[in-house]
Chains A and B, each alone.
Chain A
């Protein structure tokens, strides 16, 4: 049995990716389980999903705690050592990350492979929905499922133009993925819970929810207070009538960027 854990953020399609793998391997005559983590998913919030694959029917109904493979479809989460919590010795950490595996900061007795799925998704889909690109990398690196099976599963789920573009993302990632190297980074996963947000309440920081960050040009700002009043998370406070952004509170929704009447706020892609 092979066990996989996915990490992503609500809206990137981690749960869908787990389903697509299950459908693809089922086409090849194998058995699979695709399990979304219990609880409600929030757009932007870290989420978890699991997949099990075997040659015979799968009966166990617990969650995956010691995966053979961890797949992280979000580049910011790919910096967190906790994504590799419980990963088996000799296992694979597949990251959506813009640099080759040698530059990944997470280290341990497992292999690491990277693919710049965000760039691929932005260029093929126009949106940072990275799940299908990461699956292309998964197919190439693990050989667990054929690219063709994944293509069929994608086209079945997303008929028409959207499906075609997702297949393009899948294929590009298949070609562009950096093959596995031993994980030599300085940050070791500790025995902690992998990142997952569900339900209700106040969070410490939502900095890792962002793909883009708003940056204020104080010279251009006319002090109209609109960005301040429209921020759902009170991430913007006013100092001498000018907005100051608290990036621990900013989820990167972009309302302030969109509403600024003098275009004084720029949306800049988060560096990884």
Chain B
């Protein structure tokens, strides 16, 4: 990735605002940052999801399950028409990426289609009103993983999708966060210069679905990273692994969990369990980072 400071971020905007997203919408900010970095030679593709930000790019859409196929069609048509200067860009929610769109995603990655796929990941189906996805973390409340005498929120941890995509040996996989715009844009700029299948999973908190005040969107996104709940890294060619944010010490996950209504019901024991999980994962990531190698 490219190393940037905030002053390196271009002033030019590619979103047309104000849009129809909620107050404090994480994905709306993610769209702004991503398309700032991509510039104007872009065809943007979307599938059903919440609105984020409308961009000054031609746009196409297709059915929910089909982003990988549609981006393939766009990219191949651009190739056959001799327009290799135009990027085929998917800006797709976690439903369209992790779940219903997973088959077409995997197929496009395996064919190493020349596309850029951004997952605006808000960890649940927000457009239909906060239902769990396979990106929803352990114990999170959603309207389909409720809390009561027979439910403690989501029963399983989220799918490790970036690793799964990396296992397709694609040129570039990264995670990013809207709270770390220089890291995010540095990754987008790097990915933009490569060819083949590129995937960036961006954690975008959703105040409405995660149940926190809209003013705290960035704080929540930042704590996700600082506590190790959402590590920032990149994987090159399915081989090289690098953490791009490595604090000396992680903050306790409790700081992240306690400020969100979706985790309000957590017991101390459950928080400890999540802490253990995060610690183990962080150890593993540090080891990968040290060795610099993705284990395939």
Is B17 touching A235 in the complex (CB atoms < 8 A)?
yes
Contact with A along B212-223 (1 / 0, CB 8 A): 011111110000
Contacting residues, chain B, for A206 (C-beta < 8 A): 18
Contact with B along A37-72 (1 / 0, CB 8 A): 000101111000000000000000000000000000
Q: Does B62 contact A (CB under 8 A)?
A: no
How far, in Å, is A250 (CB) from chain B's closest CB? 8
Q: Closest chain B residue to A225 by CB distance?
A: B6
Is A232 touching B215 in the complex (CB atoms < 8 A)?
no
Q: Does A1 contact B (CB under 8 A)?
A: no
Q: Does B144 contact A (CB under 8 A)?
A: no
Is A224 touching B214 in the complex (CB atoms < 8 A)?
no
Of A199, A225, A248, which contacts B7 at CB under 8 A? A225
Contacting residues, chain A, for B127 (C-beta < 8 A): 40
Is A253 touching B13 in the complex (CB atoms < 8 A)?
no
Is A255 touching B20 in the complex (CB atoms < 8 A)?
no
- Chain B: residues with Cβ within 8 Å of the partner, total of 39
Is B18 touching A255 in the complex (CB atoms < 8 A)?
no
How far, in Å, is A39 (CB) from chain B's closest CB? 11
A199-214 contacts to B (CB < 8 Å): 199-203, 205-206, 209
Q: How big is chain A's contact interface, by range? A: 35 or more
Q: Closest chain B residue to A206 by CB distance?
A: B18
Contacting residues, chain B, for A200 (C-beta < 8 A): 20, 51, 54
Q: Does B25 contact A (CB under 8 A)?
A: yes
Contacting residues, chain B, for A257 (C-beta < 8 A): 215
Q: How far apart are the CA atoms of A18 and B252 in the complex, in Å?
A: 42
Contact with A along B11-25 (1 / 0, CB 8 A): 101011111111111
Interface centre among A10, A45, A224, A232 (most CB of B within 10 A): A232
Q: How far apart are the CA atoms of A76 and B214 in the complex, in Å?
A: 19
Contacting residues, chain B, for A248 (C-beta < 8 A): 18
Contacting residues, chain B, for A231 (C-beta < 8 A): 29
User: Given contacts A43-B208, A229-B181, is CB(A202)–CB(B21) below 8 Å?
Assistant: no
Of B17, B26, B50, which contacts A202 at CB under 8 A? B17
Interface centre among B18, B29, B33, B218 (most CB of A within 10 A): B18
Is A233 touching B19 in the complex (CB atoms < 8 A)?
yes
The 3 closest A-B pairs by CB, nearest first: A254-B215, A43-B22, A253-B24
- Chain A contact residues, CB within 8 Å of chain B: 10-11, 40, 42-45, 197-203, 205-206, 209, 224-226, 229-235, 238, 248-255, 257-259, 267
Q: Can you list 5 contacts pairing A with B, beta carbon distance less than 8 Å?
A: A42-B21, A201-B19, A230-B29, A232-B25, A238-B11
